[in-house]
Amino acid sequence: MSRTEFRERIRASLANKTLQIALDANAERRVTGRVAAFVSLPDWRERRQRAHAIRAEVIEHLEEHLEKFVRNAERNGIIVHRAKDAPEAIKIVLQIIEDSPRRYTKESVVSPRDEKVLVAKSKSMVTEEIHLNHALEAQGIRVVETDLGEYIVQLRGEKPAHIITPAVHLRRDDVGKLFHEKLGIPYTEDIPSLTAAARQVLRDVFLRADVGISGVNFGIAETGGICIVSNEGNARMVTTLPPVHIALMGMERLVRSLDDLALMLSLLPRSATTQKLSVYTQLIHAPFPDQQRHLILLDNGRTQLRNSPLKESLYCIRCGACLNACPVFREIGGHGYHSVYPGPIGSVISAGFFGPDFVPLAQASSLCGACKEACPVDIDLPKLLTRVRAGQSPVSGDQLHAIQDSGLSPLSKLFMKVYGLIARGPRLYALSQKLAAWGTRLLSPFSDYVWLPAFTGWGYSKDLPKFAARPFRERFAGLQEADTQVDRRTSTPADIQETQINQMPLDRKTPVSQFTEELATVNGNVIHVHQDELTQSVVDFLKARGVDRIHLEPDLLEESVMQQAGIIISHRPDPSIRVGATKAICGLADTGSVLIVDGEGNPLQASLLPETHIAVLCASDILPSLENALALPRVRGSRATVVVTGPSRTADIEMSLTIGMHGPGQVYIFLVHVDD
């Protein structure tokens, strides 16, 4: 994309009023929500530095960690493939699909299958990067995106507009019209009705799909497992139900251990969706019985990036926080960039992944540093953006010339030259500061000349703070003489936020009360029961709701008592059953989550397919946090595990929270108290 084309796209975005409203609403809620989410993590700055160090170490010794990861994954029964680029990854996927068994059986509860192979896909930026859907569809394969936002943009024939919220650019009436036209439902702007319509269509896809395709949030070298986080439950469906699961993963998305993973998961959901933990945090170590699990590790420019001055961009954990923080992204939106990776991080990696056409994207930054401030792994994005502008993207030969040409504009080059001259002369530099202070006061939104911001546009999406009354060098000289006991800093909004976060009182609640409170904030429910009353309480719960069938994990409740009460028990997944009951291995006090482990009676399906999930948790099994849960031997030795944090949810239409997308819309924890 030439600079001119890029500018045209920017102008079109700025002129699109609906887009501007949608982007403002998204950014506002994400940015304030992120600050609130980090309040519960007083040591977040220290965690961020640790996360940065972990990612740096992994990228530094990537081949070593990859080798260990692949060895462990293969030992677990996962079939691992490595792809050097997009065509190779697509070829591998096509081959796997061709060799896959077809799913249709006589007992299928849904309509007869299409002629075409059906692929159910969950959200994955790596698959967007290699244009996988397009390649599969060209071979006659039907691919259905199952994340609500992705499904919407797929129906519109568009690319995602944001790496976390794909349909961020649309309003509810856009979706209403789309569903009326494509799904044949009556036009509505009611978001729960739109969500329910998509749920119904996509449930059928999950049950019929021959192959499930997902991305991967993290690979864990120590165990050979993969971690996938989601809120709707679609990632769980596509990794659990089809007989073949293919996971595509950028080769850099590794952590060394489950301890490192726990740290990353304390930062990722808070940064991405402002949650303490996503609704579903899956750990998959091995295939299920009668299932093939493939993992494709994709290079596609990552090795080049790793050997370039942009290496730090590989630390990225794709949370999207830098997009929400960026004043430029907030104006032009994801489609303006014409890359699947928009925003500050996209402007760095797109050139490395897709070639010199994407170098001009790095011009779309004010270098204000908001992206670096927001990044949970402390990537120095402004530094990387300036490197891209300076032509340091990892391409070679005749492409280098193209990059240098598409870097700075002639005007910018002239400015940098003049700036270089001024910066080399201390007196000239001091004088320029005074002039700049005077000039900026005119433009500042806090200026007395209030008409100027309105005229220039300053202050619309990003405030230009008023310059200090005295330059830094003068104040510094004064500071050296002053009493050092007095904190002389001027309070910036960032300082105030940090102070608020660090002054949070220590939580003195009991694990049970903390767990109960946290679960309520994510729309879950706790029912306290004594050990002796557990089965009868569950029976009463079912009767009160007119339920007479349950998918029950074996050895959890007294089955004879339940049968006498007229409850039909199944230990197998059945989409027509409305309630599933599983054991919770532990609870997490700081998030209100419960941990379910795969085993006899298919507890992972029992906690996914029904409308209501009952988890039985012993009060003494509540642990402080995810870190403690991931250290349990049962987790490390399991085929698959899921941490459930409340009912399934989505906020893909206008950021409006809707409970009950693909997974259960109700979660009840029966908290069992035992006599001492």
Q: Are strands 244-250 and 211-214 parallel, antiparallel or unpaired?
A: parallel
CA angle 67, 71, 72 (to 5 degrees): 120
- Residue 368 CA to residue 370 CA, distance in Å, equals 6
- Cβ partners under 8 Å of residue 60, min gap 6: none
The residue within the footprint of ligand SF4, chosen from 93, 249, 283, 374 (CB under 6 A), is 374
The residue within the footprint of ligand SF4, chosen from 54, 213, 249, 345 (CB under 6 A), is 345
Residue 148, H or E segment: helix 148-155
- Is 526 near ligand SF4 (CB under 6 A)? no
Q: Which is nearer to ligand SF4, 249 or 609 (CB)?
A: 249
The residue within the footprint of ligand SF4, chosen from 197, 377, 539, 586 (CB under 6 A), is 377
Compute the least distance from the CB of residue 9 to ligand SF4, in Å.
21
Residue 26, H or E segment: helix 17-39
CA angle 615, 271, 323 (to 5 degrees): 135
Compute the least distance from the CB of residue 462 to ligand SF4, in Å.
17
| Candidates 276-284, 318-326, 573-581, 630-638; binding stretch for ligand SF4 (CB under 6 A) | 318-326
Q: Which is nearer to ligand SF4, 235 or 374 (CB)?
A: 374
| Candidates 250-258, 276-284, 372-380, 500-508; binding stretch for ligand SF4 (CB under 6 A) | 372-380
DSSP-based three-state secondary structure for 552: strand
Q: Between residue 25 and residue 64, which ones bind ligand SF4 under the rule CB under 6 A? A: none
Q: Which amino acid is at 654?
A: E
The residue within the footprint of ligand SF4, chosen from 89, 202, 375, 534 (CB under 6 A), is 375
- Residue 450 CA to residue 25 CA, distance in Å, equals 26
- Is 321 near ligand SF4 (CB under 6 A)? yes
**418-445 as b/e: b if 16+ CB within 10 A:** eeeeeeeeeeeeeeebeeeeeeebebbb
Count of residues that bind ligand SF4 according to CB under 6 A: 14
How many residues in the chain?
Answer: 676
Q: Between residue 111 and residue 130, which ones bind ligand SF4 under the rule CB under 6 A? A: none
Compute the least distance from the CB of residue 344 to ligand SF4, in Å.
6
What would the two tokens of residue 465 be? 């703070």
Provide the mask over 424-453, with x wherever binding to ligand SF4 is found by CB under 6 A and - wherever it is not: ------------------------------
The residue within the footprint of ligand SF4, chosen from 242, 356, 376, 453 (CB under 6 A), is 376
The closest alpha carbon to 282, from 593, 624, 47, 526, belongs to: 593
- Is 608 near ligand SF4 (CB under 6 A)? no
DSSP 287-304: PPTT-EEEEEEE-TTHHH
Q: Which is nearer to ligand SF4, 161 or 319 (CB)?
A: 319
User: What backbone phi and psi angles, to 5 degrees, belong to 603?
Assistant: -60, -25
Q: Which is nearer to ligand SF4, 141 or 375 (CB)?
A: 375
What would the two tokens of residue 537 be? 């309480």
Task: Kindly tell me the burial class for residue 655, based on how many C-beta atoms sit within 10 Å of its own C-beta (0-12, 13-18, 19 or more).
Answer: middle
- Is 66 near ligand SF4 (CB under 6 A)? no
Work out the number of other CB atoms within 10 angstroms of the CB of residue 466.
14
The residue within the footprint of ligand SF4, chosen from 23, 316, 635, 667 (CB under 6 A), is 316
- Residue 81 CA to residue 49 CA, distance in Å, equals 32
The closest alpha carbon to 65, from 302, 254, 312, belongs to: 254
Q: Which is nearer to ligand SF4, 331 or 553 (CB)?
A: 331
- Is 359 near ligand SF4 (CB under 6 A)? no
The residue within the footprint of ligand SF4, chosen from 242, 250, 320, 333 (CB under 6 A), is 320
- Residue 538 CA to residue 535 CA, distance in Å, equals 5
Q: Which amino acid is at 364?
A: A
The residue within the footprint of ligand SF4, chosen from 379, 581, 589, 626 (CB under 6 A), is 379
Residue 581, H or E segment: strand 579-583
Compute the least distance from the CB of residue 473 to ligand SF4, in Å.
33
Q: Which is nearer to ligand SF4, 374 or 388 (CB)?
A: 374
- Cβ partners under 8 Å of residue 187, min gap 6: 176, 177, 180
DSSP label at residue 357: G
Q: Which amino acid is at 639?
A: R
Compute the least distance from the CB of residue 406 to ligand SF4, in Å.
22
DSSP label at residue 467: P
| Candidates 167-175, 255-263, 374-382, 403-411; binding stretch for ligand SF4 (CB under 6 A) | 374-382
Q: Which is nearer to ligand SF4, 271 or 292 (CB)?
A: 271
- Is 322 near ligand SF4 (CB under 6 A)? yes
- Work out whether the CA dihedral 422, 423, 429, 434 comes out positive or negative: positive
Q: Which is nearer to ligand SF4, 221 or 325 (CB)?
A: 325
- Is 587 near ligand SF4 (CB under 6 A)? no
User: What backbone phi and psi angles, to 5 degrees, belong to 462?
Assistant: -150, 120
Provide the mask over 472-501, with x wherever binding to ligand SF4 is found by CB under 6 A and - wherever it is not: ------------------------------
Q: Which is nearer to ligand SF4, 233 or 376 (CB)?
A: 376
DSSP label at residue 281: E
The residue within the footprint of ligand SF4, chosen from 317, 539, 606, 671 (CB under 6 A), is 317
- Cβ partners under 8 Å of residue 261, min gap 6: 218, 220, 227, 255, 630
| Candidates 194-202, 254-262, 311-319, 637-645; binding stretch for ligand SF4 (CB under 6 A) | 311-319
Compute the least distance from the CB of residue 597 to ligand SF4, in Å.
30
Compute the least distance from the CB of residue 343 to ligand SF4, in Å.
7
CA angle 306, 228, 232 (to 5 degrees): 135
Compute the least distance from the CB of residue 260 to ligand SF4, in Å.
15
- Cβ partners under 8 Å of residue 486, min gap 6: none
Q: How far is CA 42 from CA 131, 165, 270, 615, in A?
A: 40, 27, 13, 30
Compute the least distance from the CB of residue 57 to ligand SF4, in Å.
16
- Is 622 near ligand SF4 (CB under 6 A)? no
Cα dihedral value 392, 398, 402, 408, nearest 10: 40
Q: Which is nearer to ligand SF4, 250 or 660 (CB)?
A: 250
Q: Which is nearer to ligand SF4, 233 or 333 (CB)?
A: 333
Compute the least distance from the CB of residue 141 to ligand SF4, in Å.
30
Q: Which residues pair with 617 in a beta bridge?
A: 671
Provide the mask over 260-279, with x wherever binding to ligand SF4 is found by CB under 6 A and - wherever it is not: -----------x--------
- Is 73 near ligand SF4 (CB under 6 A)? no
- Is 245 near ligand SF4 (CB under 6 A)? no
Looking up tokens 């390649």, which residue turns up?
Answer: 135
User: Which residues form the interface with ligand SF4 (CB under 6 A)?
Assistant: 271, 316-322, 345, 374-377, 379
